[in-house]
Structures are given as C-alpha cells and as structure tokens.
C-alpha cells in the first residue's frame, strides 16, 4: 500500500510539473517596419502570472550580425525558465547588418560598426514599443532587463552604454528611462574613445565570457582609441568606479560561453537578477571558473566565422 501511495504521489507531481511547464504561452507581435523589413518579437509568459505587472527580459539572439533567429531552440529553456519565474520574456528580431560582409577587423570596422548601430536601433524600437504598450502587455517599465548572446550581447552592452551617455542614437527613448539590468553572454562594446566610460552609472551588469574567446574578445582589440572592448576591461572599469556587476570568467573556454550558461547557470543568472537588480545590492563580484569536464581547444575567429 505504501508503495502504491508513493507511485500515486509521483504521478501527481509529474503531472503538476508537466502542467506547470505547459502554461508558458508564446505570442508573436509586429513591433516595427524598417527598410521594408518587418520586425517581430515573441513574448513568453506564464499563464498563472496575469494579475500584477511583471518584470521583463528583452533577449537579443546571436549569430555575428549575419544570421540567427529569435526563436532558436538554443534559447527555449532560458525563455521558459524565466517566464515560469514571473517574467515576461521578449525575444526580438533585428536587422542583420553583416550579411554578405567580409570579416571585421580594426582596419575594416565600418560594416561591424554599422551592424551594431542597426541592432541597437532595433532594440531601442522594441523597447519603446514595450513601454508604449506596457499596460496591455502587463509589463513593469521600471524593471526592463536586456539580455543577449554573442552579437546580441554586444548589442545590449552597447545599448546601455549609449543610453547612459545620452548619445543621439538613444533619443528614441525618454531621458527618464534606463534599463534595469544587463545580462551579457560573451559580449563587448565598440568604442572610438578608448575604454568605455559612463556619464551616468550603468545598469547592474552580469558578464559571462570565456578567456579563450577569439570571436568576441574577452580582453580588447584596440588601435589607438578605437576598438572592441570585451568583458575583462569592462568589468575592470565597473570595479574601478564601483558600479555593481558580476563577472564570470570561464577559464580556457572559447566562444561557446555565448550559449551554454543559459542552460547550465540558470540559478546564477536568477540570483544575479534578484540580488543585484531587484534588491539593488551594491556588490562587485569576480569569479573565475575552471570546468575540468569542459574542454575547448579552439575558438572561432572573425576570419573563420565569416569566410
């Protein structure tokens, strides 16, 4: 009898788990039309969280600004996890400015600079749409977090940087609005003024980056004041100025850090959001992790990725 009861309880728990997971709903919305390109986003929400306004995570996919999709299965677990945690998760389209372009370099940087600018512009447009329709979407506009992988991580870091520095690109958004947080999976910032500096303190930022990443620099690629500044110099700047951040260096790992933390480090990401963004703890966290079970003998380079 005890065994039968155990089986029944297990079945009920499994049924509850399946029902809980199945209540994540996905809806697709057209948010902008640019250069004759329709831009959509998918919004993921949990069926039980419909009464109070919810925090929002806007996600920007990766793919070198030349490929990728907003609904790639790589990100599904990430979207569902945070939808079940009570967030509206919005995964956006953006224009791919590096399609049919040669590999970027310090001396061929105009295409990548333009591609970043297009992606940031589209992220701002999606943000404005969400703010303008926040009542219908049930979103708390004071808790909009931006998150991205690879090219998407570059986009979200760049977007917060340009917004905090009141650059003309950010004029679409109200001066009173700022992103509540940034989640970057192997990102960097393009700067023509040396190491990026902030006129207004940046949003609390979570950096994940592999120290062996050669596609999006972990450190920096610089020629005089122009270059790409990766997570290491950005975190150093945050630490120097006491801007709250958490930096996970994945030692000897390449560009795959742009993807796997969104499955393997969900608890750490969740904790960052709760402690740094919701609770507003003024913490500076540097963590170096050497995973003895994960090996990375090489990383894509811009040349190998674009050729």
pLDDT at 48: 59
Opening angle at CA 130, ends 124 and 133, nearest 5: 140
By CB atoms closer than 10 A (0-12, 13-18, 19+), residue 138 is middle
Name which of 71-80, 183-192, 203-212, 291-300 the model is least confident about.
Answer: 291-300
Q: Are strands 226-230 and 220-223 parallel, antiparallel or unpaired?
A: antiparallel
Q: Is residue 12 part of a domain?
A: no
204/19: higher pLDDT: 204
pLDDT at 118: 98
Total of domains in the chain = 1
**Which CATH number does the domain housing residue 65 bear?**
3.40.50.1820
Q: Is residue 217 part of a domain?
A: yes
Q: Is residue 59 part of a domain?
A: yes
HSE-CB for 91 with a 13 A CA cutoff = 24
Q: Is residue 11 part of a domain?
A: no
pLDDT band per the 50, 70, 90 thresholds, residue 236: very high
181/13: higher pLDDT: 181
Distance, CA of 243 to CA of 143 (rounded, Å): 18
pLDDT at 297: 63
User: By the 8 A CB rule, do 234 and 274 touch?
Assistant: no
pLDDT at 300: 84
Instruction: Residue 207: name the closest of 199, 216, 198 by CA.
Output: 216
Q: Is residue 101 part of a domain?
A: yes
Q: Is residue 92 part of a domain?
A: yes
Distance, CA of 306 to CA of 103 (rounded, Å): 5
Above pLDDT 70, what percent of the chain? Answer: 91
pLDDT at 23: 87
Please indicate, yes or no, whether the overall pTM of this predicted structure exceeds 0.75: yes
Cα distances from 278 to residues 126, 260, 271, 274, 282, in angstroms, run 22, 24, 10, 5, 11
Distance, CA of 175 to CA of 279 (rounded, Å): 24
Residue 289 belongs to what domain range?
27-306
Q: Is residue 2 part of a domain?
A: no
pLDDT at 50: 55
Summary mean pLDDT of the chain: 91
Q: What b-and-e string marks burial along 117-130, b requiring 16 or more CB atoms within 10 Å of the CB?
A: bbbbbbbbbbbbbb
Tens digits of residue pLDDT in 100-158: 888 888 788 899 999 999 999 999 999 999 999 999 999 999 999 999 999 999 999 99
Whether the per-residue pLDDT at 51 is higher than 70: the answer is no
* Max intra-chain CA distance, the chain: 77
Whether the per-residue pLDDT at 217 is higher than 50: the answer is yes
pLDDT band per the 50, 70, 90 thresholds, residue 47: confident
What mean pLDDT is predicted for residues 3-28? 53
Q: Is residue 16 part of a domain?
A: no
pLDDT at 103: 87
87/47: higher pLDDT: 87
User: By the 8 A CB rule, do 119 and 94 touch?
Assistant: yes
138, β-bridge pairs: none
What is the side-by-side strand order in the sheet with 24-34? 24-34, 37-46, 88-92, 54-60, 139-149, 181-185, 205-210, 245-250, 284-289
């Amino acid at each position: 009898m005890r065994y039968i009861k155990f089986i029944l309880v297990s079945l009920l728990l499994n049924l509850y788990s399946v029902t809980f997971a199945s209540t994540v709903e996905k809806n697709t919305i057209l948010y902008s039309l640019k250069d004759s390109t329709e831009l959509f986003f998918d919004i993921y929400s949990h069926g039980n969280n419909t009464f109070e306004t919810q925090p929002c995570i806007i996600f920007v996919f990766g793919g070198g600004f030349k490929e990728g999709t907003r609904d790639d299965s790589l990100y599904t677990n990430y979207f569902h996890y945070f939808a079940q945690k009570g967030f509206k998760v919005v995964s956006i389209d953006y224009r791919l400015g590096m399609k049919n372009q040669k590999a970027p370099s310090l001396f061929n940087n105009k295409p990548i600079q333009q591609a970043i600018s297009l992606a940031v512009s589209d992220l701002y447009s999606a943000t404005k749409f969400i703010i303008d329709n926040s009542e219908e979407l049930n979103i708390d506009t004071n808790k909009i977090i931006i998150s991205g992988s690879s090219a998407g991580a570059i986009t979200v870091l760049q977007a917060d940087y340009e917004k905090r520095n009141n650059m003309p690109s950010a004029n679409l958004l109200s001066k009173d609005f700022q992103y509540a947080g940034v989640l970057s999976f192997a990102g960097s910032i393009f700067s023509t003024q040396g190491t990026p500096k902030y006129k207004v303190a940046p949003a609390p930022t979570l950096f994940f980056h592999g120290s062996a990443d050669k596609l999006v620099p972990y450190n920096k690629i610089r020629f005089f004041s122009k270059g790409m500044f990766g997570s290491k110099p950005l975190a150093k700047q945050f630490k120097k100025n006491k801007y709250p951040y958490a930096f996970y260096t994945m030692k000897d790992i390449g560009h795959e850090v742009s993807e796997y933390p969104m499955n393997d480090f969900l608890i750490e990401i969740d904790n960052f959001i709760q402690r740094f963004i919701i609770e507003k703890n003024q913490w500076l966290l540097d963590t170096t992790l050497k995973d003895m079970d994960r090996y990375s003998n090489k990383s894509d380079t811009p040349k190998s990725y674009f050729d």
